[in-house]
Chains A and B, each alone.
Chain A
Amino acid sequence: MSVLVVIECDKGEVKKSSLEVATYASQVAQQLGTTATAVAVGEATEDNLAKLGEQGISKVLYDAEPRLKDFVNGAYTKLIATAAEQEGAQVLVLANSNIGAAVGSRLSIRLKASLATNAVEMPRTEGGQFVVKRGAFSGKALADVALTTDRKIIAVKKNSIEAQHEAGKTAPVEKFSANLTDADFADAPKQVIMQDQAGGVLLPEADKVVSGGRGMKGAENWNLIEDLAKALGAATACSKPVSDVDWRPHHEHVGQTGITISPNLYIACGISGAIQHLAGVNSSKVIVVINKDPEAPFFKAADYGIVGDVFDVLPKLTQAVKELG
């Protein structure tokens, strides 16, 4: 019996969301009086995997098969299922990422496990039930979900738990093989195309986001959003009307039918705050709203606000960040 956590790696680095789920998994293991093992997927280095000891991981399994560098649903599912069987995993933890959700749902059938995605808190035992709190109704509600099978899978929402770092602790990295065959790679990607991200910060992983709406008046003014984002080390985002008119690409659209995010800081510039937009961002820890209309509904959901013209305010904010040093 153990806890198994899936660690996603990219270009040798462990993703931030995977450091969070590693912490989550080791805390679940403590609750259950067992240990947490990791199985790593993607392009990883042994040094970085060993550092998962800092999050309390006791052992890391890694298959260095080169075709696993990019996500392949069939191969990842088999690899993780094999690791789960080998380790006798009672609880499997993943990030609530595109990979985590795609693999987690297949694994739940293969491992006969109940699955909770979008988890926002540590699980708890209540009246003999294993209960996980998760986001529902596009962030407009929370649901306590009891997982009723022996095996359980939890996909943890990004930025819901802070990654711990116990400096200097390392975990042994063991070579691992699931005897993957060519058939397991039938759905391997033919091509991977990365998009330009402002300042190199990925929106779904970001803990700070600067976002613009129709109040920005045109794509040509986005340098004001990008300047502030760059100064803060934040990702950029936009509202639906902005991506609908192609001022910004669809992958930056946050909201009910776009990407749902939960950064520590969300700065909304020239966005009035339609209920569909709020649904995608209202689990952000701190929301800042800048809008010249004092009646904009977004101010009701904000922690800090500035009633003013974004074209005057944004340069002042960027300057103030630079002055912080």
Chain B
Amino acid sequence: MKFLVCISNVPDTTTKITFTPDNKEFNKAGVQFVINPWDEYALTRAIELKEAQGGGTVTVLNVGEADTEPNIRKALAIGADDAIRVNAAPKDAFFVAEQIANVAKDGGYDVILMGKESIDYNGFQVHGMVGELLGIPTVAPAMKLDLSGNTATLEREIEGGKEIVEVNTPFVASCQQPMCEPRIPNMRGIMTARTKPLKVVEPTGDAPRTEVTEFALPPKKQGVKLIPAENAGELIKLLRNEAKVI
């Protein structure tokens, strides 16, 4: 079984978000970048399934410039076999999806996995676009994934519950918890990752379809109004009469 796992390079979850002076771009200065936490579920589950089958390959794919390579190497240290980097800054979800689909088209991958969304752009779009571009099913967001031969059984989250879905390979799934416990690299993994192949390819495809014209921070809160604990019931009156939310 050939797995393709798509990973994004995103700001660490504790990052304070700021922008360049023209508010057109995220300010990367001093920011630690990590593998998108949702993508870690996809990566670990692909490695677990490969190990369970006793064969196959896990290829990591990232659309990004050279500065994403430390996190690609981290994915290799966690257990992926090889990696491909499409040498371009991700412009929008459509641009990224096209790069993934173009790589996948000739790769003969059975299972394409990624996180349900990236924690920076929160598009929740790429998986569906890749599935449609390749003409294969998409299951999103998946909380569980098992394989038996060429048939996958997935649990898909729906509002208020979950669905059990069966699809045949090839397919795309976007992953979220509680799919697995994401792995961290061990020393042996870190050492072997240095010698694993990382291929760099140039982008292909069409122009992006969206453009961020301006970023902004949400409006600041006015400050907290404290209610004494012994008089807690007063809060409910304020929520009804002042805030008008109950």
Contact = CB atoms under 8 A, between A and B. Distances in A.
Interface of A: 15, 70-71, 73-74, 77, 96-99, 101-106, 108-110, 113-118, 126, 129, 131, 135-149, 186-195, 197, 202, 204-205, 208, 232, 250-251, 253, 256-258, 260, 264-265, 275-276, 279, 282-283, 285-289, 299-309, 312-313, 316-317, 319-321, 323-324
Contact of B211 (A140, A148, A191, A320): A148
Contact of B128 (A101, A194, A260, A305): A101
B242 to A, nearest CB: 9
Contact of B235 (A99, A145, A285, A320): A320
A193 B14 contact: no
Contacts of B222: 303
B213 A197 contact: no
Nearest to A100: B124
B152 to A, nearest CB: 11
Contact of B13 (A145, A204, A256, A289): A256
B161 A105 contact: no
A269 to B, nearest CB: 12
A279 B10 CA distance: 15
Interface in B213-246: 213-218, 221-222, 224-229, 232-240, 243, 245-246
B5 interface: no
Interface residues of B, number: 76
Chain B interface, DSSP helix/strand/loop, else mixed: mixed
B160 A195 contact: yes
B169 interface: no
Which 8 residue pairs of A and B lie closest in terms of their CB atoms, listed nearest first? A105-B128, A308-B229, A320-B233, A114-B209, A189-B163, A109-B132, A194-B161, A320-B236
A191 B221 contact: no
Contact of A101 (B124, B131, B210, B229): B124
A105 B126 contact: yes
Contact of A301 (B167, B210, B221, B243): B221
Most chain A CB inside 10 Å of its own CB: which residue of B125, B156, B166, B233: B125
Nearest to A189: B163
